[in-house]
Amino acid sequence: MLIEVADLKLSIHANPVLSDVRLTMQEGEIYGLLGPNGAGKSTTLSVLTGLRAADSGKVNVMGLAPLRQKRELHGKIGVLAEDSGFYGWMSAHGYLHWMARLYGRELSADEMVRRMEQVGLSAANRQAIKTYSCGMKQRLGLARALLNDPPLLILDEPTNGLDPRGRREIHDVLLALSREHGVGILLCTHLLDDVDRLCSRIGIIHQGKTLLEGVLTELLAEKTGASRYRLRVASPGTASGALPQGVNLLAQEGGWLHLDIAPGIHPDAAWRALFALGWRIIEIRSEDGGLEALYLGITETEVAA
């Protein structure tokens, strides 16, 4: 288990900000922490990173108590905050060297090349940061967060303010980190598209309380009755042949396969059955407009209650 939070409570100036937050995240997962403005997402992240003390509750990050074992924890996580301050006159290359030295490390030329490639900044690595687009600055922020090669990244609104191309670039870097390097990523956002594209597990916080937590496709099936999915597979050839009972192939276009899962069949069971048949699934998306309906439904219900 990478993160385990239960019954977290925290007040700021006698104002209850978190009243019942829970969160469980496994190694290699991309977890989306969702919620409206002021819900308590950033405050939760500040407790997880040892910046704030909780009033009560269980908080365990990679087996460590964030507040008491802050030093050890900071050596094992990478953090990208909402506002990453950079010196604009520095180049990405110079900046990363400088940051690594602050951590007591010297980056070799090969390592620098690898790190720039990892975040797609190779071509611009000698350019002054002030000439970078917002997306490039976020990618540099990711390179900084990855300096320790942490098994866990904690990202606060990593695609905020980025245009569609910039967002797509960040998505690709995060998906590669998760799939190719097994990095767990806790992503705090209110951009549902980011979550749809990246996250396998979500938690929805509202007014300091976790209202819903679980595997995204399962929640969509349970709460919205979603049954239609779009799957991207490593090679469409592997998707031909017999299908598990209750799984119907509706159409195939580009690299995507459109499927329908019969009522009563758990989507996770369907994915496992497909995997056993040799399918190599890269991406799963619900086609029932699911996440937005789920999010609005759950936050509105609670406000009305």
Ligand X SMILES: Nc1ncnc2c1ncn2[C@@H]1O[C@H](COP(=O)(O)OP(=O)(O)OP(=O)(O)O)[C@@H](O)[C@H]1O
Contacting positions for ligand X (CB under 6 A): 12-13, 15, 17, 35, 37-43, 190
Nearer to ligand X, 41 or 139 (CB): 41
Nearest distance in Å: CB 38, ligand X: 4
Nearer to ligand X, 24 or 42 (CB): 42
DSSP assignment of 162-192: --HHHHHHHHHHHHHHHHHH--EEEEEES-H
Backbone angles phi, psi at 29, to 5 degrees: -80, 155
Instruction: Report the distance separating Cα 6 and Cα 206, nearest Å.
Output: 15
Nearest distance in Å: CB 156, ligand X: 8
Q: Please, which residues bridge with residue 6 across strands? A: 58
Per DSSP bridges, beta strands 228-233 and 30-34 are: unpaired
Nearest distance in Å: CB 199, ligand X: 16
Nearest distance in Å: CB 219, ligand X: 20
Summarize the chain as % helix, strand, coil (round to 5): 40, 30, 35
Output DSSP code: residue 82: S
Nearest distance in Å: CB 105, ligand X: 31
Nearer to ligand X, 288 or 302 (CB): 302
Whether 111 and 144 have beta carbons less than 8 Å apart is answered as no
Nearer to ligand X, 36 or 246 (CB): 36
Nearer to ligand X, 20 or 283 (CB): 20
Nearer to ligand X, 61 or 259 (CB): 61
Instruction: Report the distance separating Cα 64 and Cα 72, nearest Å.
Output: 8
Provide the residue type at 173 as one letter. Answer: V
Nearest distance in Å: CB 32, ligand X: 13
